[in-house]
Amino acid sequence: MTVVDFHARLAPGDGEPGRLLAMMDQAGIDRAAVCAGGLLPLERLAEQLNDGGRTETAADNEGVREACERSGGRLLPFFFADPVRDVEAYGKRAFDFRGLEISPAVHGGRLDDERVAELVAVAGSAGHPVYVVTVAHPGGRPADLVRLAARFPRVTFVWGHCGHTGLDIAGLNALEGSHNVLAELSGSLTVTARLAVARLGAARVLFGTEYPLQQPEVELCKIDALGLDPAARAAVLGANACRVLSEEM
C-alpha cells in the first residue's frame, strides 16, 4: 500500500530533508507533500489563531524546492504564498512546484481577497491543489472556503487539519456539499476524522502528519483507529493523494 503524507513542513536548517526522510522511513511513509515551515514562533502562531494578525517573514519556497530535488522524488514541494506579495512570484515559478498553500492563520487576510483569487487561478492553470487552513475570523472561515471553491470548480481544494480546532464539525458540515474540497486529517480528533470519512466519503479524505509538530506514528494510529475497510484505508492513506497530485501509486 502506498502511503503519502499530504502535509508536512520543512523548517530552515541543515538537517533537512534528512530528518524528514528518516522519519518517513521509520513510519513507513513513501512520499510527502511539503511546504515551508518556521515562519513564526509557535507562541505567535497560537496568538494569531485566536486574535488574528500576519507575519512579514517570507517563506523559503526556494529552499523547499531544492530540498525536494535532493529527495529522489519522495518529497513534493508546495509553494507557500502570501497573497500580499507572492502573486507574481508564484505565477513565475508555479511549474517548479506541485501545489499551493494559502494560510489566513499565518498571513492574515481574507479568502475573498482578489489576490487570493489570482493565486488560485494560477494554481488552476498549473493543475495544482490548493491547501487552505481556515480560522475563526471573518473572511477565513470554512464558509469562505466554500465560496472560494465555488468560484473555481475545476480546482481541487484541501481543507487543512479539518479546521483549526480539531473538532470543527460545523466546518465539516459547511464543506460537505463542495465536492472539489477534500479534508486533510492531521491534528484533528478521531471523532472528526471518522465523521469526515462518513460525510464526505473516503475519496475526499487525505492522510497528513503536520511534521515536525506531530509525530507521524500518532497520525497513522489515528487512521488505524478509524476501522476503515481495506479500500477506504488505501484511499485515505495514499491513493487519493496520488490522484490529486498526479502521482503514480
Q: How many helices (H) and strands (E) does the chain have?
A: 12, 8
pLDDT of 193 above 90: yes
Q: Which of 21-25, 46-50, 130-134, 205-209 has the lowest mean pLDDT?
A: 46-50
Burial of 214 (0-12, 13-18, 19+ CB in 10 A): middle
Query: For residues 62 and 79, what is the distance between their CA atoms, to the nearest angstrom?
Result: 9
Q: What is the pLDDT of residue 15?
A: 87
Domains of the chain: total: 1
Model pLDDT, residue 141: 97
**Taking residues 42-46, what's their average pLDDT?**
91
Q: What is the mean pLDDT of residues 7-11?
A: 94
CATH number assigned to the domain comprising residue 133: 3.20.20.140
Question: With pLDDT > 90 as the criterion, what percentage of the chain qualifies?
Answer: 95
Domain hosting 12: range is 4-245
- Rounded Cα distance between 34 and 79, Å, is 9
Banded pLDDT at 50 (limits 50, 70, 90)? confident
Rg (CA), the chain: 16
Q: Do 121 and 106 meet the contact criterion of CB atoms below 8 Å apart?
A: no
